[in-house]
Amino acid sequence: MFENEFLFKINELAGDELLIFALSLLGNVYFLNESTCIYRRWSGGLYSKLTNDPKNLIDWKKNTLVGIKKLTEIVEKPLKNQLKKRTSRESLHILKYGLLNNISYVKNLNFKDLIHLIKWLVKRSTPQKIFRKKFAL
């Protein structure tokens, strides 16, 4: 069906994401700011298993970044810009929920997400500073 069947060999990305990327290579994509579909999330679903276990979710995000990197190597400029934004958002998630154990992902952040991370760190560290001063730790 698609001339770009090589896209479907990027196993690190979810199938619906690959379909969107493949379609975008064939023509323009339009964002419809409306709910047209709803994913049913339930305790036995794949996504629920990921979101309930931070380590699995971080591993999923890291794997997604590998797929995005592969995809970036084969697409044209307009899509590369979108993939850079996606790389930044995935890296931000890894940094925040991995409690900064993966500090090397900071290099993937764009300016907006870097500011977001700094604000998150300041907000997160403020109660700890107050607690330390109050109890002289």
CA angle, 81 then 83 then 87, to 5°: 120
Nearest to 13 by CA among 54, 74, 55: 74
pLDDT, one tens digit per residue, over 115-136 is: 999 998 888 876 655 555 555 5
The whole-number pLDDT of residue 129 equals: 57
Size of the chain, expressed as the number of residues it contains: 137
Percentage of the chain with pLDDT > 70?
Answer: 76
What pLDDT does 49 receive? 66
The 3-state DSSP class for residue 66 equals helix
What's the pTM value of the predicted model, to 2 decimals?
A: 0.72
Q: What is the pLDDT of residues 18-36, one digit of tens each?
A: 777 777 777 787 778 888 8
Structure tokens at 77: 């400029």
Helix-then-strand count for the chain, H and E: 5, 0
Question: Which is more confidently placed, 24 or 42?
Answer: 24
Res. 91: pLDDT tops 90:
yes
Helix axes 54-72, 77-97, angle to 10 degrees: 160
62 neighbors 94 (Cβ within 8 angstroms): yes
CA torsion, points 110, 116, 119, 123, in degrees to nearest 10? -140
Mean pLDDT for the chain?
79
